[in-house]
Amino acid sequence: MSSRLLVFLIPFAVIAIFWVMARSEKKLAHDPTHKSFFERNGMVLGITFIMLVAFWSLFLVVLPYLYMVVESFHPKLPPMQRGGPDDHLTLEQYKSFFFEPMDGSLNTTHMGAFVFTIFTSVVVTAFNFAICYPLAYYMAQAGSLQKVRLIMLALIVPYWVNEILRAFSLRLLLASKGLINQALLGLGLTEKPIDFLALDVGLYVGLSYAYLLVMIFPLYNAIESLDKNQIEAARDLGAPWWKIHRDVVIPYAKPGIASGCTMVFMLAAGSLAAPQFLGGPSTLWFTSIVYDFFFQAFNWPRGAAYAFILLAACIAFVMLMLRLFKVSLGETIK
């Protein structure tokens, strides 16, 4: 049997696990009056529930990814040869990220794009945090209710506009003959138009803007629950404003900050539209490479391998950051 099909054994294993869980539930309850799962629901309904949950968790959550994992460990073959003698497990797709499959030289293009993607995502996350923290603090602690509502509305309404329109309107603003350059030329601040797009300004702005809400809401939620008296107590004890933030607000909001930063970083690193529309001509975003492998080169195994490299790197990076800032993963999803 082909190794690809091994994946399909997993559903049965999962169903079996659910079955055992349902059976052992009664024993774990330590309560003699507690009815077991099947006593409560009846055999037919009980089995149906188990099947449905298993179906949902498998076919919609686990299996697609698992299938891609398996795929990434196979060579690229024409459909005819799939499952044939050449279809064996291999690491060549992962290796191709580091060394060109053609001549074995270092794959600087892809590794460069990878580093650029991670770096840019970190910068975008930091930039987003710098914008969102003061805003979230204002909304959560300082602003009056009416003003906060207004800001909230101003933040949300732009997201009704679809992503492509948003990206292209930014492009119009930033283009060589765009509004900003016209203004700069008109004011005599610059001699010739600045190519913001080639400088990746568009990329940074577009990515930051795209995930603004993802950053602001966790921050807002975290800061909002902070007792105002704590801020005032710090102030009363003589702390200038920045020490109040350093010692009281930020430590308190740390889980929210971690959660916002994690999400923005993950989403930015995996984003496709903004880099494609707003990146400069020589900008190579890692997900665009993955996209091209899937839809241009029809090289699913290599695309899958690249996608998992990105995923693993992002997870490792986030874990490292959480460890560094002493936040547990559980706190970030509170």
- Token pair belonging to 305: 């391998």
Query: Binding to other proteins by residue 233, rule CB under 8 A?
Result: yes
Nearest CB to other proteins, comparing residues 147 and 243: 243
HSE on the CB side for 270, CA within 13 Å? 15
> Considering beta carbons, is residue 86 or 247 the nearer one to other proteins?
247
Figure out which of the listed residues 13, 35, 45, 232 binds other proteins, where binding follows CB under 8 A. Answer: 232
Under the binding rule (CB under 8 A), the answer on residue 234 touching other proteins is: yes
Contact status, residue 248 vs residue 231, Cβ threshold 8 Å: yes
Decide: is 237 part of the binding site for other proteins (CB under 8 A). yes
Kindly state the DSSP code that residue 160 receives in the 8-state scheme: G
C-alpha 130/C-alpha 219 separation (Å) is 11
Does 162 interact with other proteins (rule: CB under 8 A)? no
238 binds other proteins (CB under 8 A): yes
Stretch that binds other proteins, among 71-79, 164-172, 188-196, 233-241 (CB under 8 A): 233-241
For other proteins (CB under 8 A), the number of binding residues is: 17
Mark the segment that binds other proteins (CB under 8 A) among 18-26, 69-77, 209-217, 237-245: 237-245
Distance CA 129, CA 203 (A): 17
Is 236 one of the binding residues for other proteins (CB under 8 A)? Answer: yes
Three-state SS string across 242-284, please?
HHHHHHHHHHHHHHHHHHHHHHHHHHHHCCCHHHHHHCCCCCC
Can you state the angle between helices 250-269 and 201-210, rounded to 10 degrees? 120
Is 95 in contact with 181 (CB distance < 8 Å)? Answer: no
Distance CA 196, CA 202 (A): 6
CB closer to other proteins, 234 vs 289: 234
User: Does 235 interact with other proteins (rule: CB under 8 A)?
Assistant: yes
Q: Cβ 140 to other proteins, closest distance in Å? A: 17
Q: Find the binder of other proteins among 64, 84, 134, 240 (CB under 8 A).
A: 240
Closest separation in Å from C-beta 227 to other proteins: 6
Contacts of 231 (CB under 8 A, 6+ apart): 141, 244, 248, 249
Retrieve residue 38's tokens.
Answer: 């099947």
Q: Would you state the structure tokens that stand for residue 269, as one six-digit string?
A: 């690193």
Q: Is 106 helix (H, G, I), strand (E, B) or coil?
A: strand
Does position 330 interact with other proteins (CB under 8 A)? The reply is no
* 241-270 residues near other proteins, rule: CB under 8 A: 243, 247-248, 251-252
Task: Kindly tell me which of 162 and 229 has the beta carbon lying closer to other proteins.
Answer: 229
Decide: 54 and 15 in contact? Cβ < 8 Å: yes
Contact present, 203 and 120 (Cβ < 8 Å): yes
| Helix, strand, coil shares, percent, the chain, to 5 | 75, 0, 25
**Cβ-contact 283, 275 below 8 angstroms:** yes
| Cβ closest to other proteins, residue 109 vs residue 230 | 230
CB of 253 to other proteins, least distance (A): 11
Q: Which is nearer to other proteins, 58 or 248 (CB)?
A: 248
Closer to other proteins at the Cβ: 171 or 235? 235
Q: Which is nearer to other proteins, 249 or 322 (CB)?
A: 249
CB 231, min distance to other proteins, A: 9
| Binding mask of the shown chain, residues 191 to 230, with x at each position contacting other proteins by CB under 8 A | ------------------------------------x-xx
Binding site for other proteins (CB under 8 A): 227, 229-230, 232-240, 243, 247-248, 251-252
